[in-house]
């Protein structure tokens, strides 16, 4: 049973570019959340998608946007990249319906901005 998978593993971009990160949730999960983890810090919540809609959003600018597809996979898009966007981007999946399930994390995409 595959867990949460993210691609790519590493990515290097320059300031001003845009980037798309991808996430496939754990089998049976219907909800995807995205987090940003700066070096030496705890993950910060970006947003959560459920039934292809943004359900919750953290304190991140509109440059950060996302999408959830009918198969529950998700994308995170970041436009006009800044140096401060360099971080590990984590995807977590969970099950909201029924008895629910806790959030399970992927190993992340390491994004470096030059």
Chain residues binding another protein by CB under 8 A are 4, 31, 33, 35, 40-45, 48, 56, 58, 90, 92, 94-96, 100-108
Task: State the nearest-atom distance from the C-beta of 40 to another protein, in Å.
Answer: 8
Closest to another protein by CB, 12 or 16 = 12
Torsion angles phi and psi, residue 84, rounded to 5:
-70, -10
Please tell me the distance from the alpha carbon of residue 37 to that of residue 106, in angstroms, as a whole number: 13
Task: State the nearest-atom distance from the C-beta of 6 to another protein, in Å.
Answer: 8
Closest to another protein by CB, 14 or 41 = 41
Q: Following DSSP, what letter does each residue of 76-97 receive, concatenated?
A: EEE-S--GGG-EEEEEEEEE-S
Task: State the nearest-atom distance from the C-beta of 30 to another protein, in Å.
Answer: 10
Closest to another protein by CB, 16 or 61 = 61
How many other C-beta atoms lie within 10 A of the C-beta of residue 98? 7
Task: State the nearest-atom distance from the C-beta of 13 to another protein, in Å.
Answer: 20
C-alpha distances in angstroms, 68 versus 41, 42, 82, 90, 103? 27, 24, 24, 15, 16
């Amino acid at each position: 049973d595959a867990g949460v998978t993210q691609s790519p593993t590493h990515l290097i971009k320059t300031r001003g570019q845009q980037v798309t990160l991808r996430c496939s949730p754990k089998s049976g999960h219907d909800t995807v959340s995205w987090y940003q983890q700066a070096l030496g810090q705890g993950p910060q919540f970006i947003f959560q998608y459920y039934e292809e809609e943004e359900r919750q959003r953290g304190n991140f600018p509109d440059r950060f946007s996302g999408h959830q597809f009918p198969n529950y996979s998700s994308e995170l898009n970041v436009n006009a990249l800044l140096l401060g966007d360099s971080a590990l981007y984590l995807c977590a999946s969970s099950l909201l319906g029924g008895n629910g399930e806790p959030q399970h994390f992927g190993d992340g995409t390491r994004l470096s901005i030059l």
